[in-house]
Amino acid sequence: MPPQPHRPEALAWQVFRGSDAIRRGLLTRHQLRGAAWLRLGHDVYADARLDRDHALICRAAILRMPAGSVIAGPSAAYLHGVEHAAGFGDEVHVLVPRAARVGSQGATTVTSPGGARLRSAGGSGSAPRVVSGCTR
């Protein structure tokens, strides 16, 4: 029987920043690569026992957004119980405060208040694609 993976209580059933877990001494870089953790994007990990659904991707995306950001559109509909609104592999829709600076977030599309695309970065692997816009 294989050994039980090391899961600190503070990280069990959570989505978290890998750098925070390492800085707090909860995990090492090597442990983050183990089967106990699911990498959801740059520096964002989750307990591998969590359901792979759109809510998980939303939790991962919001960790990388500036304060005051909110989940919007189909992502918000999913979180409010409309299960067919989005799936695990779908884009996460986020509204960010007008003054916030949002750079490349793995696979991020940033739009201006008028809707013009400012920049886009392609994603890789299981990284969530985040669609963000600015509030008025």
- How does the average pLDDT of the chain come out, rounded? 81
Give residue 114's pLDDT band: very low, low, confident or very high (50, 70, 90): very low
Contact 96, 135 (CB under 8 A): yes
Which helix (H) or strand (E) segment is 109 a member of? strand 107-111
89 phi/psi in degrees, rounded to 5: -90, 0
Cβ within 8 Å of residue 116, ≥6 positions away: none
pLDDT of residue 124: 37
What pLDDT does 134 receive? Answer: 45
Distance, in Å, from the CA atom of 95 to the CA atom of 118, rounded to the nearest integer, reads 15
pLDDT given for residue 99 in this prediction: 79
pLDDT value at residue 83: 93
Per-residue pLDDT, averaged over 4-10, amounts to 90
